[in-house]
Amino acid sequence: MLETILGLVIYIYIFQKSEAALDSNIEAQAKAILRGIEEKHFDLETFQPDSIYKSQEDLIWDIIYDAIVFNRRNTFIQISSGSKVLFKSANLAGNEIALDNFAPKNIITYQNSQLSEHPIRLCLLRGNGYTVIVAYPTDQIEQLLGLLDELYLIIAPLFFIISIVGGFIISNKSLSRIDKIISKTSEITAHNLKEIIPGGEYKDEFGRLVNTMNEMITRIRKSVEYMNEFSLAAAHELKTPLTILRGEIEIALKS
């Protein structure tokens, strides 16, 4: 039971940490892209081709180049203005990330979605009339969690076996100490009350039990010694009166 709870806690922790790290990365990239657009002060919707930028895509590439030059090929990028898509990264191909499922007033949104055959985690960022979406496929995270599942299925039985064997060893050790205490206690009688039960040096429950029993035996021994001393003293005190009484009885019988 304990290993099941531990495995579940580790699984949830890794999932949350992975998702938080992914959100942080795609948010940073989305902000860098939006910042690049804002700093250039271009109106992408009224773009007209010229000798420098032959297409709107060339202009956008120049604007956001610094932000996505190190972009991994499996990161999806989409830039929109209103409902019009201005730019899509090449790996989106004929796909498009629909904006219908996002609240229009939210400046930044995180969401799990589906793109073609890929489950994705995306960050949507709005600013100055533009909407930047950076998404990353979560296949790798799911594969990692799948590996953790398989690893757990291997480790859990091992933990179970180890816990059983460990419990058996510990219980046997504890029971053997109890047997020694019982055996030694049964040997102590009124004639050998100076004997002590071994095991009091251990700083655990058994050690405290042994010390308590030894203290009890010591009190019993002292009580027995006191009774013996009292009996001897009483016998001595009664000896003289009894001798006198005996003599008087003998004289009375002779007369």
pLDDT digits over 12-44, tens only?
A: 777 777 778 878 888 887 887 777 777 665 666
**Would you say the C-alpha torsion 91, 96, 99, 101 has a positive or negative sign?**
negative
Which amino acid, 166? G
Cα 138 from Cα 141, distance rounded (Å)? 5
Q: What is the pLDDT of residue 237?
A: 72
Mean pLDDT of the chain: 76
A 10 A CB-CB count for 253 gives 7
In this model, does residue 131 exceed pLDDT 70? yes
Residues in the chain: 255
Q: What is the pLDDT of residue 63?
A: 66
A 10 A CB-CB count for 116 gives 10
Cα 213 from Cα 191, distance rounded (Å)? 17
Cα 45 from Cα 58, distance rounded (Å)? 14
Q: How far is residue 61 from each of residues 44, 55, 96, 123, 160, measured CA to CA in Å?
A: 12, 10, 18, 20, 57
Q: Please state which architecture CATH assigns to domain 2-145.
A: 2-Layer Sandwich (3.30)
Tell me if the pTM is above 0.95: no
In this model, does residue 46 exceed pLDDT 60? yes
pLDDT in tens, 240-253: 777 777 777 877 77
Residue 52: phi and psi, rounded to 5, are -90, -50
Cα 95 from Cα 90, distance rounded (Å)? 10
Cα 34 from Cα 36, distance rounded (Å)? 5
Between 52 and 221, name the one with better pLDDT: 221
